Structure 1
Amino acid sequence: MPPANCDPRSGHLSAEPRARHVVRVGVYQRWPTAGESDFLQSYVDSQPDWRIALRRSDYGSGATLKRSGLQRVLAAARSGAIDVLVVRHMYNLSRITQHLAFLLDELTSRGVRVVSVADPGLDTETPFGLFLVRVVTAVAEIEYTGARADRRDRLRHEQESGDESPLAG
């Protein structure tokens, strides 16, 4: 058994027997704004012992995982560089349920807690929070799929009716 003043993550002895463990936080934003950055920073600052170790953002679609900032977050999780990932909304990670499920599994299997600041109940620290995250993302995908179907139906209707507009006189 390690000594009482040993941090099990680092294996190093701490100078103080009851030293607090600093929680290494990754912050991820998709289509970031200054207000959102301040909001996430305030949230991290309000948590005892949380320190930002990684800050990444992307300007890509939530329908793909091919985003450099997201890939860097995953690399940090795989290397053990972060303990918590903070996002404003879970759909910032992905709007596709299968992608979000993959990301959550990848992160949580590496011991990374995922927190949605705007939706405090959506926190992978608890089984109920993880359940809620998946339900909400499933609803988001249903809405996304419905919107795509609506666009497809509208285009098909326009093609079938030719160039005539019902308002054309």
Structure 2
Amino acid sequence: MPPATCDPRSRRAAHPRTRRLVRVGLYPRWPTLRESDHLQTYVAAQPGWHIALRSSDYASGGTLKRPGLQRVLAAARSGVIDVLVVNHLYSLSRKTQHLAFVLNELTSRGVRVVSAADPALDTETAHGLFLVRVVSAVAEIEQTGALADRRDRRRHDQQSADESPLAG
């Protein structure tokens, strides 16, 4: 059997004219100039990738009712993008259930999701998809813990104010 480099199909795939252009969507949730530059640099380093969609939001990751995220999902449904690049996965959602919905919506339409900050978090591989789910679960645990801490602090502050001899 000849080596793989002798296979005419491999030469055809390596030829720049036959290489498929990959349409990329960028989604920074709270975009800063530094983050936008980082995402663009990441895409520029990938052969054959070009930016087809830029969408962002200045909204909480706790809801899916964000215009920028909805534009991304609509682009996936209509086949406008092949890859979605985010800086961090929690840009898509901080809730595991929401993140699972968004990832399912994107991947079921053939859209690969990649984190520019951590390229191992890539839905194209089983290992990457596993890591994505684990990271999202940890993010939700952290958010739940932070909310509980704030609630406890408010309760403590309220009790302290009620017990104060100066309280009116």
Number of the residue aligned with 2:6: none
Instruction: Name whichever structure is richer in helix by fraction.
Output: 2
If the length of structure 1 is used for normalisation, what is the TM-score? 0.85
Give ranges in structure 1 of 5+ residues lacking alignment. Answer: 1-15
Number of the residue aligned with 2:3: none
Q: Which amino acid aligns with 1:55?
A: R
Q: Displacement of 1:78 after TM fit?
A: 0.5
Tell me, what secondary structure is at the counterpart of 1:85? strand
Q: Supply the distance in 2 between the matched residues of 1:158 and 1:121 (Cα, whole angstroms).
A: 43
Q: Supply the distance in 2 between the matched residues of 1:22 and 1:120 (Cα, whole angstroms).
A: 20
Per-residue CA distance 1:104-155 (angstroms, 9 max, x = gap)? 0110000000000001110000011000001011001001000101111111
Q: Supply the distance in 2 between the matched residues of 1:164 and 1:67 (Cα, whole angstroms).
A: 43
Q: Supply the distance in 1 between the matched residues of 2:160 and 2:36 (Cα, whole angstroms).
A: 47
Tell me, what secondary structure is at the counterpart of 1:119? coil
> After the TM superposition, which residues 15-164 of structure 1 pair with which residues of structure 2 at under 5 Å, given as runs?
19-163=18-162
Q: Supply the distance in 2 between the matched residues of 1:115 and 1:131 (Cα, whole angstroms).
A: 13
Number of the residue aligned with 2:11: none
Q: Which amino acid aligns with 2:50?
A: R
- Count of paired positions: 152
Q: Supply the distance in 2 between the matched residues of 1:161 and 1:33 (Cα, whole angstroms).
A: 40
Q: Which amino acid aligns with 2:118?
A: D
